[in-house]
Amino acid sequence: MEFMSGLPRANDGASGRPQGDEGTLTSLLETVSEAGADPEKIKVSEIAEAIGALGFAPLLIVPSAIVVTPASAIPGLSTVAGLTMALIAGQALFGRTAPWLPGWIRRRSIDRQKLQSAIRAVGAPTRWIDRITRRRLPMLTGAIASRVLLSICTLLGLIMPLFEFIPTSSSILSGVILLISLSILTRDGLIALAGLALLGGAGMLGFMLLKLF
């Protein structure tokens, strides 16, 4: 599956230790923050051009990572990011060889300063993630399991616009997508389990809140 190629894996090999900064979540987000030439705005098209050649995985990881940050408070960001993630995951699911984004998504932009501030705010967690990811529980990131996980990502991306105005909900859904996409990229089944656990916990909490009201 093309989704599993692209970025070098951050922790490849039996030792599980990082093999340099290239291909890590941290370096990927730094690439995004430096994309484009406009000092005030960064277009989605510029982000896609900066990382698109690396395959589906970075294009799915980047918007999910951004929405997990405080940048999710930017009006409309969760909707655009959710639909983008659904489109990317859907293309990977159905075997498209190269990612494609429609013009209306590519033309959208985000304030550069706010984005860079949000990325700096999650610097420590992303570096920690880079250190701990390694190949584990391969049955959870194989071809069949990956299709199931990509189906979940597609569904979550599609429903994300519905949660635009519910505090933290989009960040939780994006957190699930981020963990799942990282697990497929790094072949770390434990990260996939963490994503599914987050989804299950959020679902149970939402159900309990609905019963209260």
pTM to 2 decimals? Answer: 0.77
Task: Report whether 177 contacts 157 (CB < 8 A).
Answer: yes
Residue 1: predicted pLDDT? 44
Predicted confidence band of residue 108 (pLDDT cuts 50, 70, 90): confident
| Helix (H) or strand (E) run with residue 43 in it | strand 41-43
pLDDT digits (tens, 9 = 90+) for 9-33: 444 444 443 444 445 778 888 888 8
In terms of pLDDT, which residue wins out, 7 or 207?
207
Calpha distance 38→209 (Å, rounded): 44
Radius of gyration of the chain (CA): 16
Predicted confidence band of residue 156 (pLDDT cuts 50, 70, 90): very high
